[in-house]
Amino acid sequence: MLKSSPTHRLTGTSFELTSDRRWRNGLIAILVVLVLVVLGAVGVRYFESQLASFAQLARIEGENDRLRGELDSTRMELEMERATRAELKRQVAELNERVSQLNHQLGFFNSQANGSKKPN
């Protein structure tokens, strides 16, 4: 009789192709976990960017308020300077008018004094 080979039993049984559901289920679970991790990372990144945007917005609004305060203060100083300048111009005009009057009077008095010193 023929000696049976070690592969003889492979020919005696039927060979069926089946998928191993454990591998497929494990692969699906790994993919789901991977997708969840990626979505979580994207969510965290988005949340951090939103927080950074809110922080930057708050900083810019604070700087804007500070600059508006400086602008109001500078405008007030400018208005005070303009009012002071206008008042000084008015006073200079008054004083120039007074100097002109006094020069005219001085000229008149000098002419009177020179006229009274002349012998008749």
The model's pLDDT over 24-75, given as tens digits with 9 standing for 90+, comes to 888 899 999 999 999 999 999 998 888 888 888 999 999 999 999 999 999 9
Q: Rounded CA gap, 88 and 8, in Å?
A: 123
pLDDT band at 119 (very low <50, low <70, confident <90, very high): low
- pLDDT for position 51: 85
Query: Which of 23, 20, 4, 22 shows the shortest CA–CA distance to 12?
Result: 4
DSSP 3-state assignment of 91? helix
Of 79 and 54, the structure prediction assigns the larger pLDDT to: 79
User: For residue 12, what are its two tokens?
Assistant: 């005696």
62 DSSP assignment: H
92 to each of 50, 60, 79, 81, how far by Cα in Å? 62, 47, 20, 16
Closest CA to 43 of 51, 28, 54: 51
The conformation of residue 13, written as its DSSP 8-state character, comes to S
Q: Name the residue type at position 76.
A: M
